[in-house]
Amino acid sequence: MSDLDNPASLWPALPPQEQPEPQRWVWAAMDPADRRARLRELAIWVDWLRSTFELHNNIPQCWYRHPPVVEHLTALYVGWIRTYAGDQAPGRELAEADWINTLHAVTPRLQLAACATGRHEEPPAAPPVRQQAAQEFEAYLNTSLLTTDPAWHPAEAEIARARQQLEAPL
C-alpha cells in the first residue's frame, strides 16, 4: 500500500495522551523549510484526493501555483486530518459526511478555467495600489457613519426588559 492509498499512514500513531494539539497551517508564518515540507505533504494528499474523489477535472495539476487554491486545499486537508486521523469528538458522529459535504461545496473554488486544459496560465496581475488609497481609507474611518455613529442595539427595549426582570426583587 502506498502513501497515495492511505495518506493517514504519513503520521505516526501516538497514544491519545501524547497526541499534539492540532496545528494551524498559516503559510506566511512558516519558515521556508517548513513551508516546503508541508507543501510536499499537502501534495501527497492532493494526489490522493484527486484520485479518490475523481477530481482530476476539478483540481488543476498546477494547483500549487495558485495561492487561493492552496489555501482552500490546506483548509480541506487540515479538516480531513482532524476528521479522519483524530479522535471522534462527542456530537460529531457525522463528521466524515460533513467533511465530504464541505469538499463538494469547496470544489467549484478549486477549478481554474485558465488551467483546465492541463497547461498552466498565470493569474492576471493585481491592479496597482493607488497611492492615495490609504489616506482615503483613513478619511472614511474618521467620517463614515458606520464608524462614527454612537453605539446602539436594535433590541434595546427588550434588553432593558430582560435586565429589569433579572434585577426585580424576589
- 94/140 same-domain check: no
Identify the domain containing residue 99 by its residue range.
7-115
Q: Work out how many domains the chain is built from and give that number.
A: 2
User: Do 86 and 162 fall into the same domain?
Assistant: no
Tell me, yes or no, whether 64 and 18 share the same domain: yes
DSSP three-state, residue 127: coil
> Is 110 in the same domain as 139?
no
Residues 22 and 98 in one domain: yes
DSSP state string for 143-163: H-HHHHSPP--TTHHHHHHHH
Q: What are phi and psi of 8, to 5 degrees?
A: -65, -20
Domain co-membership, 154 together with 72? no
- The answer to whether residues 80 and 14 belong to one domain is yes
44-68: average pLDDT: 94
Are residue 26 and residue 84 in the same domain, yes or no? yes
Within this chain, do residues 32 and 111 fall inside the same structural domain, yes or no? yes
CB 63 within 8 A of CB 111: no
pLDDT at 44 over 50: yes
Query: 122 lies in a domain?
Result: no
> With bands split at pLDDT 50, 70 and 90, how would you rate the model's confidence at 32?
very high
Lowest mean pLDDT, pick from 24-28, 96-100, 138-142: 24-28
Task: For residues 58 and 140, state if they share a domain.
Answer: no
Q: Are residues 150 and 102 in the same domain?
A: no
